[in-house]
Amino acid sequence: MSGHVLITGAASGIGAAIAADLSARGWQVSATDLRADLLERLRADLHARSGAAPRVRAGDLADPDFAEEVVADAWSARPLDALVNAAGIYPARPLLEMTADAWDRVMAVNVRAPMLTTVALARHATAEDRTAAVVNITSGAALRARPGAAHYCTSKAALTMSTKACALELGTHGIRVNAVSPGFVQVDSTANPVTQEYAAAVSPNPLGRIGLPGDLLGAVRFLLSGDANWITGAVLDVDGGSAAGTTELPLHWAGESAAQNGTTRPQAAG
């Protein structure tokens, strides 16, 4: 399957990898990000690789007007078949230093923007009786709190529920809304930097290696494709098994107690 896809947060990291992958497979890409210089680099890179330059528009998705306008701008070139909401911010702020502004900005970018872009897409699609597919990039942090990330973890939990809520209401219009939930993915982002110490602490998983942006591409392609045409409201973990549990804990006890292995016999009362 191919078509016209809008990708948010497309200038680097996971968003850029998705843009390059879909472009190489024949998709027409429209891309948005806060960083105009990196968007131009993406445009030039994809043009050099595939001969097709993506439509790019820089702006701040925390601005609700821009979140809706970028969909309208992409649609004006060609109706959209898909939307990938990959934009997100991951600031570090201890809870005792949290402010309303810091909390609100994370919620605006990570939760409100994908909801607004999805709604904007749905309005255009339903007006023209078209179907579409949406993939949100959420996080395992939706289920596991982390120090200094109360706003981020809460936003990803909200994005997971927003995915389900949008799927519920848009399904009858032929618009599917799903999510991919990555584990720790090494992207070397200047927008969302992390220390090596943090990466080492958060990345252990059953498959034993740090994730890379390329690890998510098959899941995104699948959820956008006709092979997933009866899937909506789903959250697909792509995390090396992190959601299954942690590999970093020792056995909680050496062996079994007599009560656990059945060698202790019941005693009569009195």
Rounded Cα gap, residues 166 and 77, in angstroms: 25
Strand partners, 136: 85, 179
Q: Is the dihedral of CA 15, 21, 25, 26 positive or negative?
A: positive
Closest CA to 109 of 154, 57, 170, 75: 154
Task: Note whether 139 and 156 are within 8 A (CB).
Answer: yes
Task: Note whether 71 and 80 are within 8 A (CB).
Answer: yes
Is 152 annotated in the active site? yes
Closest CA to 61 of 36, 39, 79, 88: 88
Closest CA to 7 of 73, 75, 84: 84
**Between β-strands 82-85 and 55-58, what pairing exists: parallel, antiparallel or unpaired?**
unpaired
Catalytically annotated residue among 27, 90, 152, 184: 152
Closest CA to 155 of 216, 205, 187, 114: 114
Helices (H) and strands (E) in the chain, counts: 9, 7
Rounded Cα gap, residues 122 and 134, in angstroms: 10
Q: Which are the catalytic amino acids?
A: 152
